[in-house]
Amino acid sequence: MSMLSLERVTKRYRVGAFGGRELTAVRDATFAVKAGEVVSLIGESGSGKTTLGRMVLRLASVSGGHIRFDGTDVSRLKGRKLAGYYKHVQGVFQDPFSTYNPIFKADRVLHTIRPTFFPEVSAAEWRKRIDTALESVRLDPRQVIDKYPHQLSGGQLQRMLIARALLLDIKLLVADEIISMLDASTRIDVLNLLADLKERGLGILFITHDLSLGHYISDRAVILRRGVVVEMGTTDKVFGNPRHPYTRTLLSSVPQMHHKWTRADIARTIDGSCAIHDGGACAGEPQLVEVDDDHLVGCAAH
């Protein structure tokens, strides 16, 4: 059974003067994340990735549908029950610098969770757990403890936030564009770290607009366009045999290291054929259709 499952999750924002207009940022998103699985959520900027991640983390309210975690509907949890949920589910975001307060030492983020979540654990024992967590994200405690954020690199700060998530003994990590701020040489370290954690059973919702990163670590991929899931399935199938015209466009625009863009890639993207209606009239209905085992595609009209 899936650990996290989303069922027709929808988010509407009120926008405009006096909140007079409604914007649907996410519509009827349905997908799941299993334990020990990396699912990447891929889409261009504004497609609703962060909004989905924030709903899973309950940092944004859910306007419609259900989010279940280990069978419990968490989409409307409050108070102590919500705090209990955060013991299992945590997020790390794009800009590591913004998460830290520059006037405090960086490791403060590791200390402040003890009184909230583990009041029964002694300070000495907690310090030991911090060292273990730092080591498991391959940080040398001596190099990062007692330092201010500006004395650490983006990669070190980002890893410290992952260590924080681990201290909570979480089962699911929501990682929203955590790589984009990092240098190429640090990027791959953080990616490999996530892959290690996954092998130890952590479920990861990996949000990115970078297809090569998503392809590198994920088991399954969900392609989001304007708030709607247009294609999803195992990474091999979605990347190896993309069926939705939008997925094809994205894939053909990815810059590749040993292959230059050609006109032929563009020709491939012009193929707007619908995997569901095959030449017939596209009705544009929102349901995804299974075109292969664990490979679902939406109508091309979306």
Partner 1 sequence: MSLRVDNLKVYYRTLRGDVKALDGATFTVADGEIMGLAGESGSGKSTLGKSLIRLDTRMRLVEGGVELDGKPLPIGDQDAMNAYRFKAVSLIPQYAMSALNPTRKIGKMISELLGARGVKYSEIKPELERRLDLVGLKREVLNNYPIELSGGMKQRMVLVLSTLLNPSLLIADEVTSALDVSTQRAVAETLVEFRDREFVKSMIVVTHDISLVYQIADTIMVMYAGKLAEKAPADVVVNAPRHPYTQLLISSLPEVGVRYADRKLAGIPGSPPGLLNPPAGCRFRDRCPLAFARCVEEPPFVEVDKNHHVACWKAQ
Ligand X SMILES: Nc1ncnc2c1ncn2[C@@H]1O[C@H](COP(=O)(O)OP(=O)(O)O)[C@@H](O)[C@H]1O
Binding site for Mg ion (CB under 5 A): 50
Interaction site with partner 1 (CB under 8 A): 44-45, 153-155, 183-189, 191-192, 195, 209-213, 215-217, 235, 239, 249-251, 253-258, 260-261
The footprint of Zn ion on this chain (CB under 5 A) covers a number of residues equal to 6
Q: What six digits make up the tokens of 209?
A: 């607009």
Q: Is 230 in the site for Zn ion (CB under 5 A)?
A: no
- Answer with the entry of ligand X, partner 1, Zn ion, none that 274 interacts with (C-beta below 5 to 8 A by kind): Zn ion
Residue of 112, 109, 219 lying closest to 159 (CA atoms): 109
CB 41 within 8 A of CB 207: yes
| Minimal distance, residue 221 CB to Mg ion, in Å | 17
Q: Which is nearer to Mg ion, 177 or 231 (CB)?
A: 177
Sheet holding 72-73, edge to edge: 21-33, 4-15, 64-69, 72-73
- Answer with the entry of Zn ion, partner 1, Mg ion, none that 277 interacts with (C-beta below 5 to 8 A by kind): Zn ion
Q: Which is nearer to ligand X, 51 or 218 (CB)?
A: 51
Q: Which is nearer to Zn ion, 160 or 274 (CB)?
A: 274
- Answer with the entry of Mg ion, Zn ion, partner 1, none that 50 interacts with (C-beta below 5 to 8 A by kind): Mg ion
| Minimal distance, residue 278 CB to Zn ion, in Å | 8
| Minimal distance, residue 53 CB to ligand X, in Å | 8
Q: What six digits make up the tokens of 149?
A: 């954020």
Interaction site with ligand X (CB under 6 A): 13, 15, 23, 25, 43, 45-51
Q: Is 274 in the site for Zn ion (CB under 5 A)?
A: yes
CB 207 within 8 A of CB 238: no
| Minimal distance, residue 255 CB to partner 1, in Å | 4
Question: Strand, helix or coil at 66?
Answer: strand
Long-range contacts formed by 106-115: CB under 8 A, 24+ apart: 106/144, 106/147, 106/148, 106/149, 106/152, 106/157, 106/160, 107/144, 107/145, 107/146, 107/147, 107/160, 109/160, 109/161, 109/164, 110/160, 110/163, 110/164, 110/167, 113/164, 113/167, 113/168
Strands 172-176 vs 220-225: parallel, antiparallel or unpaired: unpaired
- Answer with the entry of partner 1, Mg ion, ligand X, none that 256 interacts with (C-beta below 5 to 8 A by kind): partner 1
- Answer with the entry of ligand X, Mg ion, partner 1, none that 187 interacts with (C-beta below 5 to 8 A by kind): partner 1
- Answer with the entry of partner 1, Mg ion, Zn ion, none that 233 interacts with (C-beta below 5 to 8 A by kind): none
CB 227 within 8 A of CB 25: yes
Q: Which is nearer to ligand X, 50 or 249 (CB)?
A: 50
